[in-house]
Structure 1
Amino acid sequence: MAATSARTLKLLSIFGIGATLTAGELATRLGTSVRTVRRDIDTLRDLGYEIEAVRGAGGGYRLGHAARLPPVVFDEDQAVAAAVALQTVPAVLSGIRENAARALATLHQAMPARSRRHAEAFTVSSARNYWEFPAPPIDAETVRAVGSAINRQHLVRVGYTGDGESVTLTLEPHDLVVWAARWYLVAFDPDADRWRAMRVDRIQAHQPTHTPFDRRDIPHGDPVAFVMTAHDRGDAAAEWQCRGSAILALPASTVARFAPGGSTVEYDTETTCRLTLGAWSWPGLAGLLLTFDADITDIEPAELRQALHSLRTRISRGVQVEPELAVEVPTDVAHECG
């Protein structure tokens, strides 16, 4: 009986991923027969789980939407994953710490001792590296309001703070994206007739509009790709001991994707942009600029130009020692650093 119950719970966890699987595929995963799988499916149906039979090519069995909520069952790996997520969510969402703690306590009480030990093994202190500049924890109510508008395809009215100014916008919200430890809203602005990637930590959601809209095709066909290549997504330059900028002979969308955290990208022309960034030293900052492998001009401040000049001198010495190596120094860098 215990083996049967364990197998049925494992079958339920397999259905939980949302896939449609044949009886043969399920039998392989469970290490049992097709006949046993069908019997276990009947058991789940008796317990109140809606297991749908899908006919035709690509058919099989899948978990449907039940009219009532049956007991939620996790296998050990799922329980550990849920416990870890509940421990980390207060770092990215504000106003949810107490609820997450209560949910975690409930989950711990229901977990076997072994699973609880595995979950507790993931309790670690957090640390930031040099290039991590996450936004402050996002207000959970803001995420809930925006997320609800996205799911219902309703216009959302928000206050947005950017470049020191606050504006009120009515937007067509399409997706929420978490990238580089920051939350972004991908939305179309009908008044400006353009797409926006907006930092959620700078948004204040107003009352629901209940006004529907039709979804549009997102640029690049992917909200994540749109955010990664949007140079005007609201990022701000971080405070560093050394900070400088230069015009790069690359499109803003290219530089925005690969710029280190805590930097900003400004559109200049179709093929050039200004990158502002910082580092712990002027040579370190100069080295970051050179990683883009593009011509650089209009370099500021003088300390950054001097650091580039020093790097050129060191590279030249290295080339003289090993003549088989060839290093090309952009002529505009040489001019600016001269």
Structure 2
Amino acid sequence: MARTSARTLELLSLLQTADRWGGPELAARLGVSLRTLRRDIETLRGLGTPVVSSGGRHATYRLAPGAVLPPLRLDGEQAVAISLALQTAPVSVLGLRDAADRALGTLAQVMPPELRAQVDATRVTTVRNYWDFSDAPIDPDVVAAVGDAVRRGHLLRAEVLRPDRSRPAPGEPDFEPPRRLEPHHLVLWAGRWYVVAFDLGAADWVIHRVDRLHPLMPTGVPFERRPLPATDVGEYVRSHPDRGDTPAHWQCLGSAVLSLPAGVVGMWAPGGSVVEDLGRDRCRLVLGAWSWAGIAGILATFDCEVSQVEPVELRRACTDLSDRFRQAGTGQGHPPSNPRA
């Protein structure tokens, strides 16, 4: 009986890891016959777990949505993975940190001692990265509305907000009618949420900052999914020069024209920067840092011709940094004249 109960729990765990299992494959994983597998499936059903199966010799099995969440069975690796995910969850969604802490506490209470010991051994402290920006967390209702349209494949009507997230009113110079979007993918990059969509009005692919959208009432209108403009949607967002971004709030903010394609610069530019495509393998990069020397150092990493550097403080920092590196190349060096330049 103990072996049967353990196998039933293992079966439940396997069903939770895939959308659908083939009967022979599932039986092989459990080390049982197909007849025993069918008996274990009936045991799960008797416990209230909704398992859907297809008929025939090569039946398939999957968990169906049920009114009651079935019990979760986690092994050590899964428990540690969930623990780390909850502890390092991004704080880009309003209220997520508190919800993650409560979820972690709930898991810890029901874990057996050996799993809890593994989780306790992976306690971590997250520290804001140098490039983390100071945007306010996104409203979870907005993420849910856009995500639901993506999942269902429904047309999304949304207004584009100003950088400060205010809504332009009709008659104001920057007012635009709501966009009609076919949302295909949600992408989280550099702590910001983006939606890759096909804009019916512009008849082209666009990338919108989700926190800059104000979704209107759900349309319920389905759309036929189009082939994406890139095989890797994450890379498409990273390398796209126009993501609806504005520079993050920094103590120093500057810009320069780089002799590189916008896609290349957009791929490697820090989060919170803006890349403007100027054509002919040129682009303008707008970015910030805690010092002018910091911006100058980032520009140097692109290893290309740099021009139209603004403002004057950034030009001075470039000159000062050049002098420092020249001195460093001779093996002499000298203390910087202004560490905060």
- Kindly tell me the number of residue pairs found equivalent between the two proteins: 316
Identity of aligned residues (%): 43
- Partner of 1:150 in structure 2? 150
Superimposed CA distance per residue, residues 52-86 of structure 1 (whole angstroms, 9 cap, x where no aligned partner): 57999xx8855353777673332234445445555
Indicate conservation of the 8 Å contact 2:158/2:215, yes or no. Answer: yes
Does the C-alpha gap of structure 1 residues 14 and 244 become closer, same or farther in structure 2, counting only changes over 3 Å?
same
- Residue type matched to 1:208 in 2? P
Between structures 1 and 2, the one with greater helix share? 1
Unaligned runs of 5+ in 2: 169-175, 333-341
Match in the other structure for 1:39: 36
Distance in 1 (CA, whole Å) between partners of 2:105 and 2:51 is 29
1:201 is paired with a residue whose SS is helix
Deviation of 1:129 (Å): 1.7
Q: Distance in 2 between matches of 1:90 and 1:257?
A: 21
Secondary structure of 1:287's match? helix
- How far 1:148 moved relative to its partner? 1.8
* CA-based RMSD: 3.5
Structure 1 residue 225: deviation in Å? 2.1
Is 1:303 aligned to 2:303, yes or no? no
- Structure-2 change in CA distance of 1:82 and 1:286 (3 Å): closer
Gaps of 5+ in 1: 323-338
1:50 aligns with 2:51: yes
Cα distance, 1:320 vs. partner? 5.6
**Alignment correspondent of 2:189:** 179
For residue 237 of structure 2, the aligned residue among 227, 236, 243 is 227
| Pair 90,281 (structure 1): closer, same or farther in 2 beyond 3 Å | closer
Deviations 1:15-64, CA, capped at 9 Å, x for gaps: 3221646747864x66xx454x76245313331253757999xx885535
- What is the DSSP-based 3-state SS (H/G/I as helix, E as strand, rest coil) of the residue aligned with 1:257? helix
2:266 match: 256
Out of 7-16 and 60-69, give the one that drifted further: 60-69
Q: What TM-score do you get using the length of structure 1 for normalisation?
A: 0.77
Letter of the structure 2 residue corresponding to residue 159 of structure 1: E
Is this contact kept in 1: 2:94–2:140, CA < 8 A?
yes
Q: Name the amino acid aligned to 1:139.
A: D
SS of equivalent residue, structure 2 residue 230: helix
Task: Quote the residue 2:130 is aligned against.
Answer: 130
Q: Deviation string for 1:195-241 (max 9, x for gaps)? A: 22111122222111122222112211332222112222122222333
CA 1:309–1:85: 2 relative to 1, 3 Å: closer
- Provide closer, same or farther for how the CA distance between residues 93 and 74 of structure 1 changes in structure 2, counting only shifts above 3 A: farther
SS at match of 1:94: coil
1:277 partnered with 2:287:
yes
What amino acid sits opposite 2:142 in the alignment?
T
Scaled by the length of structure 2, the TM-score of the pair is 0.77
Q: Helix, strand or coil for the counterpart of 2:149?
A: helix
Letter in 1 for 2:305: D
Which residue of structure 1 aligns with residue 171 of structure 2? none
Deviation for aligned residue 1:2: 2.9
Superposed CA offset, 1:273-298 (max 9, x none): 11112233333322210111111111
**CA deviation after TM superposition for structure 1 residue 134, in Å:** 6.6
1:194 aligned residue (193, 204, 219): 204
